[in-house]
Structure 1
Amino acid sequence: MSAYIKQLNRMAEANSLQTPPLQQQFQAWYASLPEIARCRPFSMVEFERALGTQGKYISPVLLDLGWRRERRWSSRGQYHRYWVPPQIRL
């Protein structure tokens, strides 16, 4: 059993060395966008597609970086959720 645990630990270390943390991946992706594309609200689907992971992992990263969650309400009772960069005030 301990050999199995050691193997899992080695695999985990190898994976962590290969992929940068999600915050770094996000910052690199966001910095690669043209400036005009950065100054707008984003949907979580955009982030999920760009980073290849689920929103539940991206949300804490966005909150740590100062992004805000907002909603657009409609008269039909439905709303659209989106994320706003820290430098934008809507």
Structure 2
Amino acid sequence: MKPGIHPDYHPVVYRDRSANYAFLTRSTATSDRTIEWEDGHTYPVIDVEISAGSHPFWTGKRRLLDTAGRVEKFRAKYARAARS
């Protein structure tokens, strides 16, 4: 690789809190928050909403994930339209 033109590539922990699943990998992403990993070192941690630990394709379980109230917004929007 040519020196000085590539972003910093370092260890990062990705964590899916809903599934209690985390993994250590290398990435150019960074975070101000850190976590102490199983090996005793401290790494930046990035929280994700869906990972292999919670995605229905990998788990085989159906699960409703509505983090932003999307279903309620949809129902309210079309309830007003139905009343008109």
Counting strand residues as a fraction of each chain, which structure ranks higher? 2
> TM-score scaled to structure 2, two decimals?
0.25
> TM-score scaled to structure 1, two decimals?
0.25
Give the number of the structure whose alpha-carbon radius of gyration is greater: 2
